[in-house]
């Protein structure tokens, strides 16, 4: 798994490439946590995970996403996913994660519908 990070104003897009499985989940989680903390600069107000290049998510990967969603909420950063490929989308539906997370069809929709949680 490789994570591409694209900052666009106050919104940061994260593009995981490959698989988030048991082996890749800790590195993925750490990389996203660094983004959420701002890595020394002003943290973004919105973080969107773009799943266009994400091929597979295991249960350990789901756990990482869940922990990141909680961390974002604590930091008052809007957190959403978009452009998930069909097999990954299926995993989010099956696990019920699509009921508690914002999942959008593309970046534009995700950006326009994401509001940072109020304090």
Partner 1 sequence: MVAVMPGPIQRAAAAITAPVHALADLLLVRRGPYARAFDNLILGLIIFSVASIGLESIPGLPDWAAQALHIAEIVVVAVFTFEYLLRIVAAPNKLAFIFSYQGLIDLLAIAPFYLVGVDARWLRALRLLRLLRLLKLQTHILESVVEQRTRELAEKNAALEEAQAQLKAELEVARSLQLAILPSSFPARPGCEAAARMIPATTMGGDFYDYIELPDGQIGLVIADVSGHGVPAAFFMAVARTNLRELAAHHPDPGECLARTNDALCAQNPLDLFVTVFYCVLDPQTGRLRYANGGHNPPYVRRAAGGVETLSGAGGLVLGAMVGAKFPTHSVQLLAGDRLVLYTDGVTEAFNPAEQLYGAQRLVDEVHVHGGGTPAALVERICQSVTDFADTAPQSDDITLAVLTWGAP
Where does this chain bind partner 1 (CB under 8 A)? Answer: 21-22, 58-60, 62-63, 66-67, 70, 94-97, 99-100
Minimum Å distance from CB 99 to partner 1?
Answer: 6
Please identify, using beta-carbon distances, which residue of 5 and 91 lies nearer to partner 1.
Answer: 91
Distance, in Å, from the CA atom of 77 to the CA atom of 99, rounded to the nearest integer, reads 19
Report the C-alpha dihedral over residues 23, 28, 29, 33, rounded to 10 degrees.
160
Decide the pairing of beta strands 11-20 and 2-8: antiparallel
Minimum Å distance from CB 100 to partner 1?
Answer: 6
Distance, in Å, from the CA atom of 19 to the CA atom of 87, rounded to the nearest integer, reads 12
Interacting residues of 67 by C-beta distance below 8 A, sequence separation 6+:
29
Minimum Å distance from CB 71 to partner 1?
Answer: 11
Please identify, using beta-carbon distances, which residue of 68 and 82 lies nearer to partner 1.
Answer: 68
Please identify, using beta-carbon distances, which residue of 5 and 66 lies nearer to partner 1.
Answer: 66
């Amino acid at each position: 798994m490789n994570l591409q990070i694209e900052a666009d104003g106050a919104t940061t897009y994260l593009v995981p490439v490959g698989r988030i499985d048991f082996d890749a989940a800790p590195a993925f989680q750490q990389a996203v946590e660094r983004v959420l903390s701002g890595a020394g600069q002003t943290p973004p107000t919105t973080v969107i995970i773009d799943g266009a290049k994400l091929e597979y998510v295991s249960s350990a990967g789901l756990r990482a996403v869940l922990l990141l969603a909680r961390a974002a909420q604590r930091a008052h950063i809007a957190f959403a996913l978009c452009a998930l490929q069909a097999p990954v989308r299926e995993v989010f539906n099956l696990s019920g994660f699509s009921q508690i997370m914002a999942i959008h069809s593309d970046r534009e929709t995700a950006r326009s519908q994401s509001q940072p949680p109020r304090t």
